[in-house]
Amino acid sequence: MNRYLPVRKVYAREVLDSRGNPTVEAEVTVGEGIVGKEGYTGRAIVPSGASTGKFEALELRDKEERYQGMGVKKAVEHVNTHLADAVLGENALCQNRIDRLLLEADGTETKERMGANAILAVSLAVADAAAKAMRLPLYQYLGGCNAVTMPVPMMNILNGGKHAENTVDFQEFMILPVGACCFKEGLRMGTEVYHCLRKILKDRKLSVAVGDEGGFAPNLKSAGEVLAMMTEAVQAAGLQPGKDICFAIDAAASELYQEEKQGYYFPGESFMTGTEVLRTAEEMISYYEELVKEFPVVSIEDGLDQEDWTGWSLLTKRLGNKVQLVGDDLFVTNTERIAKGIEEKAGNAVLIKVNQIGSLTEARQAVELAHRAGYRTILSHRSGESEDTFLADLAVASGSGQIKAGAPCRGERTAKYNRLLAIEDQLGETAVYRWQGINGNL
Ligand SMILES: C=C(OP(=O)(O)O)C(=O)O
Ligand SMILES: [Mg+2]
């Protein structure tokens, strides 16, 4: 018989995210009078994306003048009324049931009525409260005694696309400290590379202003130029590219794809070279092949458009035996889309963003389905983040072994990394840190 830990209070407020946009924070109190007089209060702040996938659950925004239409007053109201009514008195230890009740209160496929932001805030805050009431660290409450795998951090050190106002067309260039012995050492290595890159950019009189996720955002001409500079930064840090540090790209290709042009348009490269750069899906794949040949790129996310299943299958056939091919906009943490991907042999890894699907249980089902099919998973932040560290605990709990949390700077990003440092300390010698390259490819 399950212990009964009743939800006693549910409350939400509007707070700000790292882009200065409003978002939902929920507080949930459980077990008043059962586990102590006051019970325990958990909280969660939901993140928000900029390059959102077409098939994501919908976050509710007010659309009135306040905050230029970005307010979340209605979503907050929904938490304080309908969603609170749905879960008050329910057992916080039954996360699946809590989430089912939240989904039923909404009743739509896309969560558009209550708002995925409203539902997720309550879902996560319930888990946080339950963990506190059980006096367990969140990662252990969620993952049990098997939660010992520290994630390899994918640190986004150069921003482009929708995350910056520069000429770099791909959205993210990341470094993976695959040769580190532990998370702490990996974070140190990555941070040193980040600082070396800053110096290289400064020496060349290029901008060291940063984008949404804390990576630098200079005007560069092509992915090749970016990766060459990153290689220099790794060497300047006294590390070996391809051995200590590998690279990952998030092309965010759905943002580049233009239906009317039937291809991927590169505005930055076109501007810098003075000729229109348009690539077909086939040309995109060949382009990735060249980059992988020249640089230690071990992971490519959203290499093609979110609706191009045929292209994705071809990409996977050509590169999937040595490169991690990650579906973000393609899968949107949605089990139906992941199942389709598995069937079509599209990609070999899934980016997990809890707010893409809108509840903790559904996000965990996505991880489970992916792992069962031999797909890798990467727990990921959004470009609009907060000081909330739920993601760090979930990354360890899921055993996925990878996390995307931005550059090793800016408080909303370092909050996750610092939480992981604390978790690794807590785990002590039981902590595991290991990069699992596709077919052993570093
Ligand atoms: C983190 C990402 O960006 P956003 O949150 O803007 O979707 C991403 O595309 O992986
Ligand atoms: Mg992405």
Residue 382 annotated as lining a ligand binding site: yes
Confirm whether 19 is domain-assigned: yes
Q: What is the CATH number of the domain that holds 78?
A: 3.30.390.10
d(CA 330, CA 312): 9
Q: Report the number of distinct structural domains present in the chain.
A: 2
Contact 49, 383 (CB under 8 A): yes
Low-confidence ranges of the chain (pLDDT < 50): 1
Nearest-CA residue for ligand 1 atom 1 is 382
- Based on the fold, state whether residues 117 and 213 are members of the same structural domain: no
Residue 317 annotated as lining a ligand binding site: no
Atom of ligand 1 nearest to the CA of 351: 10
Structure confidence by residue, pLDDT tens digits, 5-34: 999 999 999 999 999 999 999 999 999 888
- Based on the fold, state whether residues 226 and 353 are members of the same structural domain: yes
pLDDT score for 2:
62
265 lies in which domain range?
149-433
| Cα 64 to middle of ligand 1, angstroms | 25
Task: List, by residue number, the catalytic residues.
Answer: 213, 353
- Based on the fold, state whether residues 251 and 341 are members of the same structural domain: yes
For 23, list phi and psi in degrees, rounded to 5: -150, 175
d(CA 403, CA 353): 11
The residue among 135, 166, 200 that closes a domain is 135
**CA atoms lying within 13 Å on the CB side of residue 120:** 28
Contact 354, 380 (CB under 8 A): no
pLDDT score for 36:
85
Number of H helices, E strands in the chain: 15, 14
Contact 229, 197 (CB under 8 A): yes
- Based on the fold, state whether residues 11 and 97 are members of the same structural domain: yes
Q: What is the pTM of this model?
A: 0.97
Ligand 1: does its nearest atom lie under 6 Å from the Cβ of 285? no
**CA atoms lying within 13 Å on the CB side of residue 279:** 20
Reported ipTM: the value is 0.99
d(CA 24, CA 117): 7
Going by C-alpha positions, the residue among 203, 113, 221, 215 that lies closest to residue 174 is 215
Residue for token pair 């003048």 = 65
| Cα 388 to middle of ligand 1, angstroms | 17
pLDDT score for 65:
85
Residue 381 annotated as lining a ligand binding site: yes
Q: For a pocket test of ligand 1, which of 46, 59, 173, 250 has the largest count of ligand atoms closer than 8 A to its C-beta?
A: 250
- Based on the fold, state whether residues 121 and 208 are members of the same structural domain: no
Confirm whether 164 is domain-assigned: yes
Report residues near ion ligand 2: CB below 5 Å.
250, 301, 328
d(CA 269, CA 226): 12
d(CA 327, CA 333): 9
- Based on the fold, state whether residues 208 and 269 are members of the same structural domain: yes
| Cα 416 to middle of ligand 2, angstroms | 18
- Based on the fold, state whether residues 125 and 221 are members of the same structural domain: no
- Based on the fold, state whether residues 308 and 382 are members of the same structural domain: yes
- Based on the fold, state whether residues 100 and 248 are members of the same structural domain: no
- Based on the fold, state whether residues 320 and 249 are members of the same structural domain: yes
Q: What is the CATH number of the domain that holds 192?
A: 3.20.20.120
